[in-house]
Chain A
């Protein structure tokens, strides 16, 4: 019925009435008066909301407004032939309207401009006029758009459900029971905690600060308690105290110059000074020391990482290290000062030899001359020009045989010196006569070891060796002599007899290259020095008696004590060995004296003296006392270092010999001078 009234109203108000009114009416009709009051109250402010409300209400309007006809949703053709179209709410028949004639309808339609908006409602059998809005809606729907303009078909998506931290979609599983029942385990835990708290196992307050320090050491009266337990404690050494140079304002002499600082760069890193003193004008300009932390750390490392040992600091007087020696004054006489110089040679004097009476000396030089000098005056008595490098020279020790053996180049030369009485001279001349006999050794396929050849020019004998000779030594009786041919293999050491002009080579095998050979001063013994050993042979029995081990690198010279039991050996590493053959085959004493090769060692015939000469231009004179008591070891005392020779070509003193009777020493230098040292 509301519908009806509305329709009437609309018809009454003509079509000017807008849909707001219509909808309002719908509300007011359909509900109680209170609602209508509300409606009137909100009237003006609802203006803007109207389209929305209309949009919401429009769909439901048909449902809510009850239709006049109550037949329900039945096919209308059932009432086709009836007079009524149905029944109203009170059960009365609703009569069909009278049909208009076609013409009448047409005319009415033509008159009415709003006719197109009228629709025939078959169900209620009436005509309904569509409002403007409704028409609009219809037209929109025809176009396939949404009925209402203010419906957004594509609104922004709002996700009302938070998926974050959920991990899985919402479960639709029913709430489990345990969510509603108090937990047993929780209860247990609580009980546990309560117990722990009650018993004081869990404490919530911060621990109280106790006084940290107290009288730790007590009275220190009990000494037994005060001992440190365990291993002995080695206190760490204290850091070094600073010296003057560490001052911020050191004295000028402690500051190195720029050149010195530069020169530190050339040093090895470990030698370089760690700290370079600097001077600051005032205390305020001293900067912070950047290595402070580092040095503190290094000290820490030293303290806990360095092994500590107790070391005895030896604080000894260096003088106490030196051996106690008898006073030099008691050991006099010995050569001390240079007394004479024999000059005349023009090249290094290689060797010298003193005549047994001590009146003459002979010297051989590499300028090709052999000179005889008078000792006391320094006069040169004789000069032979042998025309070759004189390497070694030895005077016959027999006083009645003034014969000189000299090694010239490769060979040995025997010369008559022509000193002494007529008779002696004649005798020696006789000795040096040689028959020009055909060499009988020619038959041998081998080249003979030695040939005795007369030297016409110098009126002597030349012993032509198969290889270069290096050393010659006379037997004390003056008839035999020996020569050493270092590269001679089995014929390296040769023995010659002057009177018979005969030579032979008794030693077939030697341990190493021979260097020198010497006769025993009184017995029939023979010493051969090889590079490392000294072999002692008994000539009569022809067998090896002893082998002395020197322990040196290379022996250069040997000398036999006049007693015969002691041997000294000089080496090329500057060491001198004293052998006591009765004591041991090892050196009794090794003296490291010279800085360069020892060229010669020699014993004095009468005095307890021996000397060594070296390439370092020095000659050492020692006191070497051999006691007749076998229980007493020889006494060796260094006495004097004689200097004076100058070096030439890196060579110094080449030979030294004692005077046979006086405590005088002759030295032959590479500076072509012979010197005589006396006490």
Chain B
């Protein structure tokens, strides 16, 4: 008799009724596994862990309600329609009915995912909360090679690229970028939109290779959903700042792969108001048409572009109104945004070749800077006298302007993370820059503070004092003491150790006094010592070592002694916690050791 036998005719109960294995679910829905997979991805249905796995331990279980949820989705019918359509096309082709095949191919059954998005994310904040994976995926596909004949359609890659640029333009425009980090995997960004922290990863701007070890069907299904989601999110976000969506871009800039810049300009133009916007849109469109006609003459188009640039502000309802809006917007911003907005204020950047242009074009405006780059369509060129920083990676310069500083790209990222303008000495071209630290790590919780993090925190404190000379002196003191405390943590540790040693010695002295007090003891002790004096002498020699060991042992014993009374479960838990702590401590120890080794080797070299 099987383990969970149920007499025929009796209804299932409990976990057996609530959960269903995947194979059974597929059969129940009468669809193929591939369709089931697709449906699960689009509907966001995931397996669940039943308390009791009735069908066996190695199976995947879905909740019956989830499966019913899939069953009632119109998408299932749509998928069947698509299947039938595919069969029809195949048949038409097989019968050489090219006419019919063409006609069918022209009108394939389509489905929309907007209803699903609303179902999965009933509020906009829900959607923002789950946006991390979406953004990472869209940015990843935007970096894939847009080549015909590959497994990913060119159209979709372009769509991903467009969506990612639109998102970045919004973030940049609203100054909601908070943290950036260049890792080996790519560049991480963290933005704060409507109170939600959204982190995403963009690959380095290099060609990605399509590997064989991934199932593109799965990824493309995810991407399908993510593209729609990001589209709707962008729509909502653009409308929240009064910009039309989808944006209409200057085709020339688009062609020059400066879409982000084009978008930014569009947004700054469009923020005047929607009604104005449509007008300007029309203008842009007109211009675009003209541009297309006259595309053979680049000079002419450049001229037009300049005109366009001049026209846009004049079309706006006047500089005054713009100012008013700016100020009102500033009021709405929180402190963080204000801080971010003014970080690179009054700084003008120029990007040389071989720097991650797209990333910097995104970051610098997000923190209030002005930026241009080497190449066509740039707002200003290298000889501009107002440029304060030129970002260079390769240390070969044809002409060096004394009025500006030549820094490596890492400087921008570090400034952004520290929220202060760092001194550029360490980042000058040709030098090895200081270590790039992750802004996502809580150094205190980790238990180890890298040297450069301390330097930065000192600089931050200094900058705060400089920027906000607070009336109360006490506050300043507090700040200082805080910083000092941070720096002197190691020192205090050492002090504590010393103190403990002293205490130990004192205790030993007291013990001896006590022994002396009881006369018998002393004689006994001397007796026993007399019995084997050489041993005693030896003991004296190694006494301090033993003492230390004994002390350590005593501490451990004191901790252990209560353990013997605990239940096995609690003891296990406690031991697990201790192991975790120990591992963490070991990690920190290793870091300290490596640091010490590196320092000593550096000193030797010097």
Contacts and interface: CB of A to CB of B under 8 A. Distances in A.
Interface string B189-232: 00000000001000110111111011100110010000010011
A251 B235 contact: no
Nearest to B188: A242
Contacts of A229: 119
Interface string A278-293: 1011111011111111
Contacts of A643: 550, 553, 557
B161 to A, nearest CB: 16
B331 interface: no
Given A216-B235, A231-B65, A299 B214 contact: no
A398 B202 CA distance: 88
B32 interface: no
B44 to A, nearest CB: 8
Interface string A135-150: 0000000000000000
Given A225-B122, A283-B410, A296-B137, A216 B117 contact: yes
Interface in A610-665: 620, 636-641, 643
Interface residues of A, number: 100
Contacts of B106: 204, 206-207
Given A215-B235, A288-B208, A340 B524 contact: yes
Nearest to A282: B393
Contacts of A194: none
Interface in B43-82: 44, 46-49, 60-61, 63, 65-66, 69
A303 B511 CA distance: 64
Nearest to A621: B561
B394 interface: yes
B199 A238 contact: yes
Contacts of B570: 321
A443 interface: no
Where chain B touches its partner, the secondary structure class is helix
A323 B532 contact: no
B118 A217 contact: yes
A338 to B, nearest CB: 10
Interface in B95-136: 103, 106-107, 114, 117-120, 122-124, 126-127, 129-130, 132-133, 136
Contacts of B231: 212-213
Contacts of B207: 288
B592 A241 contact: no
Interface residues of B, number: 119
Interface in A333-348: 337, 339-341, 343-344
Interface in B500-559: 511, 520-521, 523-525, 527-528, 531-532, 550, 553, 557
B181 interface: yes
A372 to B, nearest CB: 17
Nearest to A278: B184
A253 B557 contact: no
Interface in A230-254: 230-231, 233-236, 238-239, 241-244, 246-254
Contacts of B571: 592
Interface in A310-365: 314, 316, 318, 321-323, 325, 337, 339-341, 343-344
Given A215-B236, A307-B46, A242 B214 contact: no
Nearest to A226: B122
A612 B115 CA distance: 72
Nearest to B216: A297
A290 B435 contact: no
A377 interface: yes
Given A220-B123, A307-B46, A307-B49, A377 B527 contact: yes
A212 B120 CA distance: 18
B124 A220 contact: yes
B566 A323 contact: yes
B239 A307 contact: no
A388 interface: no
Contacts of A321: 566, 570, 573-574
A290 B574 contact: no
Contacts of B127: 217
A659 B472 CA distance: 69
A245 B188 CA distance: 14
A201 B239 CA distance: 38
Given A282-B408, A294-B214, A301-B218, A378 B451 contact: no
B440 interface: yes
B107 A203 contact: yes
Contacts of B44: 233
B220 to A, nearest CB: 10
B47 A305 contact: yes
29 contacts: A204-B103, A204-B106, A213-B245, A215-B239, A216-B118, A216-B232, A217-B118, A217-B236, A228-B122, A236-B130, A241-B199, A242-B183, A242-B185, A244-B437, A252-B595, A256-B594, A288-B203, A288-B209, A289-B203, A299-B136, A300-B137, A305-B47, A323-B562, A339-B521, A340-B528, A343-B531, A376-B524, A592-B568, A638-B561
